[in-house]
Structure 1
Amino acid sequence: MTIIEGDATLDRALRSCVPEVAAEVTVRVRRRMPELGGAGYLDSFMEELIDHFVDLLAEPGPPSEEFLLRAREAGVREAGEGRSFDVLPAATRLAAGIAIARLTEHAERLGFRVGISTIGKVTQSAFACTDRIADAVIAGHGGFRARRLAEDERRRRELLDLLLGPRPGLAEVKQAARQAGWPMPRTVAVVALRPSGSADGWPVVPADALPGLHLDEPCLIVPDPGGPGRHRRLEADLLGWAAAIGPTVGVTDAACSLRWARRTLALVRSGRIRPDDRPVRSADHLSRLMTSWGADLVDLVAADRLAPLAAVRPSLRRELEVTLLALLECHFRAGPAATRLHVHPQTVRYRLRKLESLFGDGLYEPGVQLDMHLLLHARHATPNPD
């Protein structure tokens, strides 16, 4: 049943008006929506749309599958050119209102009867049609965005794998970063992660970071970690996660930063480093890392460097060791060492005389002092859990 009653030549008569109406519609759409000014496909799309509205005047019905496919393709183009998903659907609805008004005017001039109720039916049918077209545009737009996001994620994972693998070439990294849309930083730090009891889902990933949350041992590559406020933001983003921030390195040395971040996190897990619910920086625990990852060497060297203490009873041995560590860190000044140990300065002086009797002149040799400092730090820097 036709919406506009009259001569069966209506369809053929109005077809000749389509180019004129489409041209007016396109001009007015571009004027109302300047963001579509660069959409080269818009003229042909609008002409096909007006052609469909002519079909509606003669015989109402849904848009053809062929035109819905065209609408999906237009949605893909819109997404590819960076426009929002709702721009073209809005343009389509605007075009429908203009087109129906112009086509009914042409129909009346051609002698067809167009009453108010008829215009209402035509408008209702046209907007039902544009709703279907809008859905197709949005589906095309969304499909493109989903594919683009999946492709971006794939490229970022490839970049992450490249950076965390054996030291890559700078040119190779620059090319991979460009393909992944990742601005190349001067430096990076890698954050090793482990969920703690309060973790709820995945941590917040800074927009410019490369996430490795899919790995068995999750991590993040953070660009230019020394930037203003970066550490504070990381603390907030990683709330509820045990996190260790590796040393800041050049981009091609990210694997080295990850290695030390994971070693630091292992010390957190073992209780040898005790965080205060904030990310731990590897650089703040240098001596602990140096000694912890050569534990067998520490024991061997300690047997030599600290041999004079072996003859002392265990309780006194510990007192002498912690006193020697405090003295080394306070440049052998009894007052500051006593403050650190919460004892009287005279007690420190007594223990120092005992140490001098055990070690002799070797106690003041710089090379020996450095070794003893590292060894004693490995044994006593972390407070006893009890």
Structure 2
Amino acid sequence: MPRRSVYRTTQEHPTGPPLDPAVVEVLRGELPDVADRAVTAIIEEVPSYKGALTGQMGTTIRNAVQLALGGFLTLASRSARGPMAPALEGAYQLGRGEARSGRSAEALLAAYRIGARVSWRDMSRAAVASGVDAAQLSRFAELVFAYIDELSASSVAGHSDELETSGRLRQRNLERLAHALLTSAAPEIVAAAAERAAWVAPDALTAIVLPESQASQALMALDSATLQPPDDLPGLPAGSAALLVPSTGSATSRRSMLHALRDTDAVIGPAMPWVDVPSSLERAVRCHALGLTGVVDTDAYLAELVLGADAVARAELRARVLAPLGDLRPSSAEKLTETLRSWLLHHGRRDAVAAELFVHPQTVRYRVGQLRELYGDRLDDPAFVRDAVVALA
């Protein structure tokens, strides 16, 4: 395919005397350990790379980090700027490969930032130990970050180019798959969409609703196989985005997801078999309507969701339960209503009711007596108790 020009080999860089060859050799000896620490930090800090850097893939990327750092040391040991084309070409191809793997440009840039931080920390420590003076160390820092800037820019260009071709097509296929899943399309349609997107069905999917502005941040923190439906998804709150996150359905998987989203306002639906994920999104949307802030685990709000499922029916039930209080003054009806609620929830324990309402136990006794006069035997009827608890909860 035609490829855009992503780099020049004559870009301006800090100039000055080269690093002492003896220092360069010391630093070159540190490269394997520096590369290992950089890759370990990337795995720990960028969740999209979790599990991606093990086995042969891990070896390949460690070698690539070593080669990049080795190329940098070669440049740093020269008084004149040498060609960077091989290193930039490698970075460009890395960006294309990351796009094909489904990882975002944000995750790729985060990996570069972390790799640069760890590499500079370790290599500068070794340089100082080798006797590099302050002036040389300052130039060394300029070279490190200018070099990383060029590599990361080339990788982003490769990532973008890949998305504009096969990557963009796959992204559209993934969006169509997410739409098919959430609109309860026929199983054969979902299966065909999954095949076109080269998507391997997980054990479960969890629907998440969050502000559109936080979607990119969340995607960087979550599993790289996360699906993002189109913005025009029916029923999605205005200004919100939906994500479908693969999971095992285990408690450990859910804790990991909650932790990854800790800096967002995400509402997390239940983990469901992937064919039933519309139910997960429906619950997340209903919980979103409760107006909660921060990370919201819908599993912790099941009672509120049940009670709010049919607001009209609940209002009618409340009116029926409180009908015997209809002839009282509003202030008296309010006091007896709160006493009835507390008395039901505390199973008639007078001291507990008194403590909750901040009144004397004798006051509770008097009010319960009034309730018995108004309700009669219904206070002992399990069906009425059930209705009253639901209506007043």
Q: Give the corresponding residue for 1:264.
A: 287
**2:201 aligns to what?**
184
Q: How many residues align?
A: 238
- Distance in structure 2 (CA, Å) of the matches to 1:225 and 1:324: 44
> CA shift at 1:192, angstroms?
1.7
SS at 1:355's partner residue? helix
Query: Given that residues 203 and 249 in structure 2 are in contact (C-alpha distance below 8 angstroms), is that contact kept between their aligned partners in structure 1?
Result: no
Q: Does 1:210 align with 2:227?
A: yes
1:286 pairs, out of 278, 291, 302, with: 302
Bigger relative CO (Cα 8 Å, ≥ 6 apart): 2
Aligned-residue offset at 1:146: 4.8
What residue in structure 2 maps to residue 21 of structure 1? none
1:30-69 equivalences under 5 Å are none
Give the corresponding residue for 2:71: none
Q: Helix, strand or coil for the counterpart of 2:202?
A: coil
Q: Call closer, same or farther: CA 1:250–1:231 in 2, change over 3 Å.
A: closer
Distance in 1, matches of 2:97 and 2:214, equals 33
Q: Indicate the residue corresponding to 2:265 in structure 1.
A: 242
Alignment-derived partner of residue 382 in structure 2: 366
Q: 1:140 and 1:315 mapped to 2: Cα distance?
A: 71
Cα 1:160–1:366 shift into 2, 3 Å: same
Classify 1:350/1:225 alpha carbon distance in 2 versus 1 (closer, same or farther; 3 Å): farther
Match in the other structure for 1:148: 166
1:156–1:210: 8 Å Cα contact kept in structure 2? yes
Counterpart CA distance in 1 for 2:175 and 2:321 is 48
* 1:193 to partner: Cα distance: 1.7
CA drift of 1:165 comes to 0.2
Q: Match of 2:337, SS?
A: helix
- Does the aligned pair in 2 maintain the 1:187–1:248 contact within 8 Å? yes
Q: Determine the C-alpha separation between the residues in 2 that align with 1:321 and 1:251.
A: 44
Q: Please give the per-residue CA displacement for 1:269-307, whole angstroms capped at 9, x wherever unaligned.
A: xxxxx44x33241x4333433333422222222222220
Which of 331, 355, 363 is equivalent to 2:347?
331
Contact 1:191 1:219 in 2 (8 A): yes
Q: Aligned equivalents of 1:175 and 1:257: distance in 2?
A: 22
Q: Does 1:163 align with 2:186?
A: no
Give the distance between the partners of 2:249 and 2:362, measured in 1 at CA: 44
Change (3 A) 1:369 1:79: closer
CA RMSD of aligned residues (A): 3.7
Q: Which amino acid aligns with 1:290?
A: V
Q: Which moved more, 1:259-268 or 1:246-255?
A: 246-255
Aligned structure 1 segments of 4 or more residues deviating by more than 6 angstroms? 138-142
Query: Relative to structure 1, is the Cα distance of residues 202 and 338 closer, same or farther in structure 2, using a 3 angstrom cutoff?
Result: farther
**Cα deviation, residue 236, structure 1:** 4.3
* Partner Cα separation in structure 2 for residue 344 and residue 292 of structure 1: 33
State the one-letter code of the partner of 2:217.
Answer: P
- In 2 relative to 1, CA 214–350 (structure 1 residues): closer, same or farther, beyond 3 Å? same
Alpha-carbon contact 2:173-2:196 (below 8 Å) kept: yes
- Would the alpha carbon gap of residues 345 and 203 (structure 1) be closer, same or farther in structure 2, given more than 3 Å must change? farther
Q: Tell me how far apart the structure 2 counterparts of residues 346 and 181 of structure 1 sit (CA, whole Å).
A: 70
- Return closer, same or farther for 1:201/1:257 CA change in 2, 3 Å cut-off: closer
Secondary structure in 2 matching 1:220: strand
Deviation at 1:167, TM superposition (A): 5.4
1:295 to 298, 305, 311: 311
Distance in 2 between the 1:226 and 1:369 partners?
36
Task: Find the aligned partners of 1:189 and 1:295 in 2 and give their Cα distance.
Answer: 26
CA deviations on 1:63-93 (whole Å, 9 max, x unpaired) are xxxxxxxx9xxx89x969x99xxxxxxxxxx
Secondary structure of the 2:173 match is helix
Q: State the Cα distance separating 1:239 from its structure 2 match.
A: 4.5
Counterparts in 2 of 1:215-226, with a 5 A limit? 215=232, 217-224=240-247, 226=249
Shift of 1:139: 8.8
State how far apart, in whole Å, the 1-side matches of 2:352 and 2:191 are.
Answer: 51
Report the 3-state secondary structure (helix = DSSP H, G, I; strand = E; otherwise coil) of the residue aligned with 1:189.
strand
Alpha-carbon distance, 1:254 to partner: 1.4
Other structure's SS at 1:193 match: strand
**Structure 2 CA distance, aligned partners of 1:167 and 1:141?**
32
Unaligned segments of structure 2, at least 5 residues: 1-55, 57-88, 102-155, 233-237
Distance 1:202 1:327, change over 3 A: farther
For residue 379 of structure 2, give the secondary structure of its aligned residue in structure 1.
helix
Percent of residue pairs bearing the same amino acid type? 29
* Distance (Å, rounded) in 2 between the aligned partners of 1:182 and 1:316: 63
Shift of 1:353: 1.9
Q: Is the 8 A contact 2:179 2:230 kept in 1?
A: no
Partner of 1:332, secondary structure, is coil
Change (3 A) 1:166 1:324: same
Aligned counterparts of 1:149 and 1:240: Cα–Cα separation in 2: 29
In structure 1, C-alpha distance between the alignment counterparts of 2:199 and 2:364, rounded to whole Å: 57
Q: TM-score, normalising length from structure 1?
A: 0.52
Shift of 1:373: 1.2
Which letter maps to 1:298?
A: R
Letter in 1 for 2:308: S
Structure index of larger Rg: 1
Relative to 1, partners in 2 of residues 1:203 and 1:325: Cα closer, same or farther, differing over 3 Å? Answer: farther
Q: What is aligned with 1:31? A: none
Measure, in 2, the Cα distance between the counterparts of 1:251 and 1:162. 11
Matched, 1:313 2:329: yes
